[in-house]
Amino acid sequence: MKKIVLFGAGGFARETAYLIERINNVRAAYELLGFIVDDDYYRDGLEINGYPVLGTRQWLIAHKNEVVCTCAIGEPGPREAIQEELEQKGIQFETLISPDVELHSTVKVGAGSVIAHGVMMTVNIKIGKGVVINGCTTLGHDAEVGDYACVMGGCGLAGYVKIGRRVKIGGHAFIVPHITVEDDAVIAAGSAVFAKVKRERRVLGNPARRFEL
């Protein structure tokens, strides 16, 4: 049984703790020790859903030979910064996959990614490191999801879709086959994407069109 900690203590961290509990209900894979937070958020004695906040990244570095870690922060940019920094310091990042998700032998998933319950994937799919794929999302054959992207619940990525690094896709969005979404783009919830989305562009609607906040 691996000892694991989660970096972050917000809503997605609580969901990820629940995912670990679900994995353990099927097989005793992890001992969840608790949460790691940045200095500004640490308080002695703080507990979240029955798990303690253990300390800051200094605690994690001091225990790097004893534990594995998953970054449980939803925002792609901070998640990338945290995982990249801590990997350089020797922290091992663990991939968490819901026990109800079937992975074909041709599906590749990078370190530190989180794949939630109800996700359906077929064949020849590539998922980068530090990726979040939330519940009930579907990925068609030959889809690619770049490092640190976040795909929210109920999305559909059709065959040959290519998602760049740090892309955010809101819940129940759909992307038709062969579409590329470049790095740092944002697709709003419920959008239907029929054309390439350029780097850092935000799109919304059906059909999805560019918008600015």
- Residue whose pair of structure tokens reads 């697709």 in the numeric block: 187
Cα distance between residue 175 and residue 157, in whole Å: 5
Instruction: DSSP letter for 197, please.
Output: B
Identify the three-state secondary structure at position 12.
Answer: helix
Cα distance between residue 102 and residue 98, in whole Å: 9
141 is catalytic: yes
Cα distance between residue 150 and residue 131, in whole Å: 6
What number of other Cβ atoms are within 10 A of residue 32's Cβ?
19
Cα distance between residue 166 and residue 88, in whole Å: 20
Contact indicator for 44, 51 with CB cutoff of 8 Å: no
| Catalytic residue (choose from 104, 141, 172, 178) | 141
Identify the three-state secondary structure at position 3.
Answer: strand
Q: Is 74 annotated as a binding residue?
A: yes
Identify the three-state secondary structure at position 51.
Answer: strand
Residue 182's Cβ-side half-sphere holds a number of Cα atoms within 13 Å equal to: 8
Contact indicator for 47, 18 with CB cutoff of 8 Å: no
Known binding-site positions for substrate: 74
Q: Which residues are catalytic?
A: 141
Known binding-site positions: 74
